[in-house]
Structure 1
Amino acid sequence: MAERKVDFENRGFQQRWEAEYMFVDIRGQLIEKGKNFIAYSLAVDESTDTTDTAQLAVFIRGVDSSLCVTEELLGIKSMHGTTTGKDIFEEVSKCVNDMKLPWDKLTGLTTDGAPAMCGGKNGLVGRMWDKMQSENCTCELTVYHCIIHQESLCGKALKMEHVMNTVAQTVNFIRARALNHRQFQSFLEEIQSELGDVPYQTEVRSRAQVLNRFFELRDEICQFMEMKAFQAKLRLWEIQMQQGDLCHFPCCQIIKDQVSNAAFLNAHFADKLSTLRAEFTRRFADFEAQKFDFELFSNPFAVDVEKAPANIQIELIELQCNSTLKAKYDTVGPAQFPSFIP
């Protein structure tokens, strides 16, 4: 028994040593890559684990002179005390300094909507601006509010909690008790339903999940930046709803067919669509202001040269007239194309 105990302890020590070695190695590689960054941005998220301990996650995206992008988890910090803007700033600042990253190359910061994060004076955002001013940084720090959070907040503007409350109560009734859940699954099998089980309904996804989903949807988010196309759909739906045309709302059409036309409140739901459109316009105004920059990197061959900054107009014309580079763009796509630009 004593020999087995020693063997387990030795293996445990070896595993810890290997994990620490891998961490040091990855950290060293990131520091080396960071030396070549011409710009980098940070994404900061604070969530609570199962022991009610606040965990601060800091992600980095850096780009070198060859436009090669590096995305890594910069650090995770357990915060056992308070989580004020000052506390968060100190941890983020420590991550930046430990990785020997220059402050004058920080160009972007993404946070959630918590006051400790986005506060312009005492929050992380305000303190980051103050830090960059104290470091005499000449670059402008662009601050983003996580898109997934923005979408969720836009939905709240509809004030239709009574609908989700009913859904949540029904789902929780099915899933909260094992007997109810088994009976529901048996019922689905009996009626040969093609639908699967019903998942738990939660009010808000964890922030760590939001950041992970943001990364997974990065290509789709680029398409989502074309906000005017989405707003055009909202305008169309609003007009059709006012006219009682429910061709794009088949579920509403079924309800309307089951009740009288007078009982279906077209104007009420049209107002909801109008509110949603206004909320999207307000919350995504900062992205709309940078729409040209997004288009320039997503498809430089399609942008209007006259709308481009004067210092890149001639170069942009030469690029758009280069059939070889256009063919390369069509082959490799927008993510890889910048590395082929002379």
Structure 2
Amino acid sequence: MQLKHLRTLLSPQDGAAKVTCMAWSQNNAKFAVCTVDRVVLLYDEHGERRDKFSTKPADMKYGRKSYMVKGMAFSPDSTKIAIGQTDNIIYVYKIGEDWGDKKVICNKFIQTSAVTCLQWPAEYIIVFGLAEGKVRLANTKTNKSSTIYGTDSYVVSLTTNCSGKGILSGHADGTIVRYFFDDEGSGESQGKLVNHPCPPYALAWATTSIVAAGCDRRIVAYGKEGQVLQTFDYSRDPQEREFTTAAASPGGQSVVLGSYDRLRVLNWSPRKSIWEEAKPKEIANLYTITALAWKRDGSRLCAGTLCGGVEQFDCCLRRSIYKNNTLGG
């Protein structure tokens, strides 16, 4: 797979205006971007902006600038969006099926520390990380939240496997923890899996391995039980900076990692059973990549930047048609 730049969805600003998070809906019809102003912009599948709504603080007395949005995800039915905030709350907005439908808060989950990352892997089940190190579950049916597991280290990243039945959390002390709602017969272990050399802000769970990277400018692919499979070391490359975010393709055969002015692409080679690096996508003045979101059909990848820009890329896969479905990595 290679990345081909398609269009700019949101033009960058002159200074820091970080795109904090982005998400594609499960039905591929909607794409959401949260801006530095805590406004959610909604785009259609063609990249046209169709709608927007403002998020709100946990308590209005602290004002609209009292928090940042750190995590965002669509519900599996694509009609709701969960928003995780640094003022210790998650809001779930019903956005409706049509553009312009009224946005209504249908759930809120108050926490004991800042929400740092968030995923919505299954119906009614939102999984999120906290600054205090806990990974928790919010049930939108019961409106209750509970702790899945606790650590003593800030949760810097959170991702799921392709089926959404397993989660990985990355922590500030380098720990990577795995948890399964259902291991689907794999027999893989749960609990602390790896102690990565730096905080794994860039964390992706592919079909064959777990890919992690951070400020030491090294990408490490770990096996299913935490053994090091491969290392891509850019620590001596004066052009490379820290890795800030990562995303696995929906099929789990490719991983993209964002750094500074650059997206690095790893593709799994089934024949060689190794990760191979494709030609990196380098774009001058893109600056730091702060968010990545892959369209659920695997055809598009969006990258958000420190200066508030959002760029859309075509994922050039070797596609084959099977029973009228397009298959790709």
Q: TM tier, shorter chain? A: under 0.3
Structure number, greater radius of gyration: 1
**Structure with higher helix content:** 1
The normalised TM-score by structure 2 is 0.25
**Structure with higher strand content:** 2
* Higher RCO (C-alpha 8 Å, min separation 6): 2
